[in-house]
């Protein structure tokens, strides 16, 4: 049902933009942009270049053309020297029907001499914006900033160097649950200062999970008192590696308004009664704001 809602949104938005744009020209022999995939380029200290950009917002000479799911072929009625701008879209909180332009990726821009009837192959390249602050990056290669917070005496959240457990590099985070140890709770070892309320706050994370799990925020004030934010992100199980973008912008702002100037991230899962074993794998966790 969520996919149907997004497709309706996509079609409606594109048709409205196309109608508005089409009224500005009488040339009915468009050029076409073919975009099969996009690339994210990262610099040192920015972590992995793996991304989950699956939607793009397209503009021609600053006029909106539409929103398109990749791969796509896009008709452009504006011919001649045309400035093409493309914004990268992601699924907010992993929800298919909630696609947004990602505030930390730059726009791709290219001027093309468009000719009617021609197909132009593009592979847009995105980068992180210069103002992006990488507050936290955990790729597990040189250490681990996530630790157990339960009191059962067991170490559930570990670093694995088994190749089958790893997405990129040589190590990944891993949690194994069983009927003997049916629950885990882990948190970042750091308390992160809140950015100004207007700043977006996102967590990027690659993961595999045999069962669903949860992620949420804990706020901490100057006296060391804490409160847990009531909004919990329920993360779906994924049998293959999957990247998700979690939006904590409002959560952090709400905690800040209550006087909790720092925040901490918590992961939690409980083994269902009908399941005997479940594994979780984590890699390339980034916390961003600006």
* Peptide bond connecting 53 to the previous residue in cis, omega within 30 degrees of 0: no
Scan for tokens 């939006």, then name that residue: 247
For range 58-75, the mean pLDDT = 98
- Let me know if 50 is exposed, middle or buried by CB neighbors in 10 A (0-12, 13-18, 19+): middle
d(CA 7, CA 3): 6
Which pLDDT band, with edges at 50, 70 and 90, does 155 fall under? confident
- Whole-model pTM: value is 0.90
Q: Is the pLDDT of residue 9 over 60?
A: no
Tens digit of each residue's pLDDT (9 = 90 or more) over 254-286? 999 999 999 999 999 999 999 999 999 999 999
Tens digit of each residue's pLDDT (9 = 90 or more) over 116-152? 999 999 999 999 999 999 999 999 999 999 999 987 7
More confident residue, 172 or 13: 172
Q: Hey, what domains does the chain have and what are their CATH numbers?
A: 2-127 (2.60.40), 133-289 (2.60.120.260)
């Amino acid at each position: 049902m969520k996919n149907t809602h997004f497709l309706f949104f996509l079609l409606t938005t594109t048709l409205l933009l196309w109608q508005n744009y089409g009224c500005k020209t009488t040339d009915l022999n468009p050029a076409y942009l073919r975009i099969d995939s996009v690339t994210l380029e990262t610099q040192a200290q920015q972590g992995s270049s793996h991304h989950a950009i699956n939607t793009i917002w397209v503009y021609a000479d600053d006029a909106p053309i539409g929103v398109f799911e990749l791969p796509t072929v896009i008709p452009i009625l504006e011919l001649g020297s045309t400035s093409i701008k493309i914004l990268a879209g992601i699924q907010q909180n992993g929800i298919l029907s909630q696609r947004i332009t990602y505030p930390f990726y730059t726009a791709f821009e290219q001027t093309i001499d468009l000719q009617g009837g021609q197909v132009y192959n593009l592979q847009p390249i995105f980068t992180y914006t210069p103002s992006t602050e990488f507050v936290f990056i955990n790729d597990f290669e040189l250490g681990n900033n996530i630790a157990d917070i339960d009191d059962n005496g067991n170490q559930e959240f570990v670093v694995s160097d088994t190749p089958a457990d790893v997405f990129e590099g040589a190590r990944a985070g891993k949690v194994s649950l069983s009927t003997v140890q049916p629950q885990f709770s882990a948190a970042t070892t750091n308390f992160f200062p809140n950015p100004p309320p207007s700043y977006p706050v996102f967590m990027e994370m690659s993961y595999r999970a045999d069962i669903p799990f949860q992620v949420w925020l804990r706020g901490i004030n100057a006296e060391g008192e804490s409160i847990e934010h009531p909004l919990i992100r329920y993360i779906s199980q994924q049998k293959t590696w999957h990247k998700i973008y979690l939006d904590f912008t409002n959560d952090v702002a709400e905690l800040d308004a209550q006087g909790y100037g720092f925040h901490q991230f918590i992961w939690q899962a409980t083994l269902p009664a009908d399941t005997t074993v479940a594994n979780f794998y984590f890699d390339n966790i980034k916390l961003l704001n600006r």
